[in-house]
Amino acid sequence: MSILYDMMRPVLFSMEAEKAHNLSIRALKLGLLPHVSNQIDPILRTELFGLTFPNPIGLAAGYDKNAEVLKEVSNLGFGFVEAGSVTPRPQAGNPKPRIFRLVRDEAVINRLGFNNQGLELAAKNFSGRDKAGIAGANLGANKDSDDRIEDYVLGMRKLAPLASYVTVNISSPNTPGLRALQGKGELEDLLGRLMDTRKNIVTEGATFFPILLKIAPDLTDQDKSDIAETVMAQGIDGLIISNTTITRLNTLLDPRKNEPGGLSGQPLKDISLSVLKDMYRATRGQLPLIGVGGIQSAEDAYRRIRAGASLLQLYTAMIYKGPYVAAHIARGLVQKLRADNFTSVKEAVGVDTPLSD
């Protein structure tokens, strides 16, 4: 099936990137892609957050903005899917063009700006997610919101009872001022209100749900320390590390490298890996971490797990490696775990990131 994608890729890459993305969503809706099981091998089965993941390779938020193809993506071999980011009210996002392939760098720059159709449609789609497996809802705030924390509260109230977990995305670089919520005081306020909201939702009869926080890679050492202290104190269930970067490495080759927006793909790999290790140490290995950013191979995935990630996510790799990249990575990961005599993913988590005394 990778051969088929290799044949189709020149056609897709001849299209404007967002048009190709929308075409792929339509293809999934029409059932044009063969199904691949996500039950790759028992060694990959991972218990986390009270959920059982058939394999640790998930689809990152950003692809399925409105939770339109949850089941269809699961049928590509992903162990879990995260949809969004979803804002309370629909918004168009930033002007087009706003997605740029950096082909020479196997990267993407996007400045989408939380384009989505809002909570009502997302809730409808999540409510019909039969056989979709584990599906998380990634929450965002409207660009023109007067109270962005309230936007996350509204999103949680609407989608948490329907999703497997919720992710609080305060790390997109494409909504002005959003990353300020990663500051210590702002983060304490945000997470405090969200934890109170979860308690109320569960008291009202909903099933308990995990809350994850997605952070940026562009953080100072003090930022990382503050985030670790705050999430541990508030009882957040896990961190997703990391979102796209605004850093532009001098090694980038593609002429579009200076387009404004968040950079993802291969150039993000080492940056995200470094933040993952730092946060694993800062949380003393006591908080589950999801590694994302530049993962395109089994070697990338295994390195991220050994650095401290319990689960993984990818998106840009689908663009360059094809729709079945998750299944391909998962099969390679099985071989690497067995070669090192591990009997589970959990056993390998953090072995390359010793915790200081």
CATH code: domain of residue 141: 3.20.20.70
The number of folded domains in the chain is 1
Which token pair is 323?
Answer: 């729709």
Amino acid at position 44, single letter = L
Res. 2: pLDDT tops 90: no
Distances 20 to 8, 26, 83 between C-alpha atoms, Å: 11, 10, 18
Active site residues per annotation: 172
What does the pLDDT read at residue 180? 87
What does the pLDDT read at residue 177? 87
The reply to whether 294 falls in a domain is yes
Mean pLDDT of all residues in 4-29: 91
Ramachandran category for residue 223: left, alpha or beta (phi over 0 → left; psi -120 to 50 → alpha): alpha
- Structural domain containing residue 335: 2-348
Buried b / exposed e along 229-257 (16+ C-beta atoms within 10 A): ebbeebebbbbbbbbbbbeeeeebebeeb
Q: What number of H helices and E strands is found in the chain?
A: 12, 13
Mean pLDDT, the chain, rounded, equals 95
Instruction: Write the CB contacts of 64 (distance below 8 Å, at least 6 apart in sequence).
Output: 25, 70, 73, 81, 83, 84
The reply to whether 356 falls in a domain is no
The Cα 169–Cα 149 span in angstroms is 11
The reply to whether 30 falls in a domain is yes
Q: Model pTM?
A: 0.96
The reply to whether 44 falls in a domain is yes
| Confidence band for 295, pLDDT divided at 50, 70 and 90 | very high
The reply to whether 357 falls in a domain is no
The reply to whether 353 falls in a domain is no
Amino acid at position 290, single letter = I
**3-state SS assignment for residue 238:** strand
Distances 227 to 94, 150, 235, 262, 333 between C-alpha atoms, Å: 29, 20, 12, 21, 30
What does the pLDDT read at residue 181? 85
The reply to whether 355 falls in a domain is no
Sole residue written with tokens 């970067």 = 245
| Confidence band for 174, pLDDT divided at 50, 70 and 90 | confident
What does the pLDDT read at residue 1? 57
The reply to whether 133 falls in a domain is yes
Mean pLDDT of all residues in 8-36: 94
CA angle in degrees (0–180, nearest 5) for 142-147-153: 80
CA angle in degrees (0–180, nearest 5) for 229-293-354: 50
